[in-house]
Amino acid sequence: MEQLAFVLAYALPAIGAALSIGLIGAAALNALGRNPEKLSDIRTLMITAIVFADALAIIGIIVAFISRT
């Protein structure tokens, strides 16, 4: 049961981060299709948003390791 809690403590934030990164990428491609001359601005914002979303997965694995001990 403890291992199931460990897996869920990381899996749920990882799934959320993966879905949000997919939505960020789709939105960036949509914005790029509408406004192609803003490529560098869109790319910068997309990478920043992906970093923030990926931080959720990192925090999730840290919480999972801390709660396991």
Contacts 24+ apart (CB under 8 A), 7-13: 9/60, 9/63, 9/64, 9/67, 10/57, 10/60, 10/61, 10/64, 12/60, 13/56, 13/57, 13/59, 13/60, 13/61, 13/63
At residue 30, the pLDDT reads 97
Q: Which residues of the chain have pLDDT under 50?
A: none
DSSP for 31-56, written as a single string: HHHH-GGGHHHHHHHHHHHHHHHHHH
CATH class, 2-68 region:
mainly alpha
Q: Under a CB-based contact definition with an 8 Å cutoff, are residues 21 and 53 in contact?
A: yes
What is the domain partition of the chain in residue ranges?
A: 2-68
At residue 15, the pLDDT reads 93
